[in-house]
Chain A
Amino acid sequence: MTHEEALKWIAEVFEEPADNISLETKKDEVPGWDSLGVLNLMAAFDEEFDILLSEDELSELQTVADILELLKKHGLLH
């Protein structure tokens, strides 16, 4: 997916308006990025891309840019 598609995908995962999600957005600025949001992120990676995220990968996520890096690491971002 492209950067733009990735930002839209992240917004959908956290049920946030797309306009509120940018590379600079921090975890604390996204209401839906709570413990349930993390579960949704795990489920989205798992069910949509067949990728099981590790505890370490999840704990390192602090910004939207970190999620983009994760998508890139798993070959999902171009």
Chain B
Amino acid sequence: MGFIFVDEIVDLVPGKTIRAIKRIKEDEEIFKVHFPGFPVVPGTFLTEMMAQTAGKCLDSEKKDRGKAMLAQVNSAKFRRYVGPSQLAMINGEIRTNREKFATAICGIEINDETVCTAELMFTFVRLENLDPNFRDEVLETYLSTKQTRND
């Protein structure tokens, strides 16, 4: 598991809601140390999955304010251990969406069971501060596929 925590977007209403998936493999690097004999995805990783997902929902609006960046974890609850070989369904609902900040309510389901939830706050970094070659491949793949379907 690198630091891209979203494999694929399955549904997206820009600036409003998003559903995405992350396939957690059996041999993820993190499981070698977290923890031997009891492999479990760290809560920080689950939080990052939710943040990246909601961030893509905001970024998909393509507003001048820039790229969404996680600013605050208002609350996070981890209800179940998440281990190897799981398909995580990540949900994000944007609650407030303004020029300076946004908030989102997020959750992750595995086998239709909610394993964690969080309320997240985002701020924005202007695109000129990022590498000009930066691309969000997951988001661009979804948008291009959707465009193809609509054509």
A residues engaging B (CB < 8 A)? 36, 39-40, 42-43, 46-47, 52
Does B72 contact A39, Cβ atoms closer than 8 Å?
Answer: yes
Q: In the complex, A31→B32 CA distance in Å?
A: 39
Does A43 contact B71, Cβ atoms closer than 8 Å?
Answer: no
| Nearest CB of chain B from residue A54's CB, rounded to whole Å | 11
Interface of A is mostly: helix
| Nearest CB of chain B from residue A45's CB, rounded to whole Å | 11
8 intermolecular pairs with C-beta atoms under 8 Å apart:
A39-B72, A39-B123, A43-B96, A43-B101, A43-B103, A43-B121, A47-B95, A52-B98
Q: Which residues of B93-116 are within 8 A (CB) of A? A: 95-96, 98, 100-101, 103
Interface of B is mostly: strand
B residues engaging A (CB < 8 A)? 71-72, 95-96, 98, 100-101, 103, 121, 123
Does A39 contact B71, Cβ atoms closer than 8 Å?
Answer: yes
Residues of B within 8 A of A39 (CB): 71-72, 100-101, 121, 123
| Nearest CB of chain A from residue B114's CB, rounded to whole Å | 23
Does A36 contact B72, Cβ atoms closer than 8 Å?
Answer: yes
| Nearest CB of chain B from residue A23's CB, rounded to whole Å | 27
Q: In the complex, A19→B61 CA distance in Å?
A: 43
- Known contacts A39-B71, A39-B101; 19 further A-B pairs (Cβ under 8 A): A36-B71, A36-B72, A39-B72, A39-B121, A39-B123, A40-B72, A42-B98, A42-B100, A42-B101, A43-B96, A43-B101, A43-B103, A43-B121, A46-B96, A46-B98, A47-B95, A47-B96, A47-B103, A52-B98
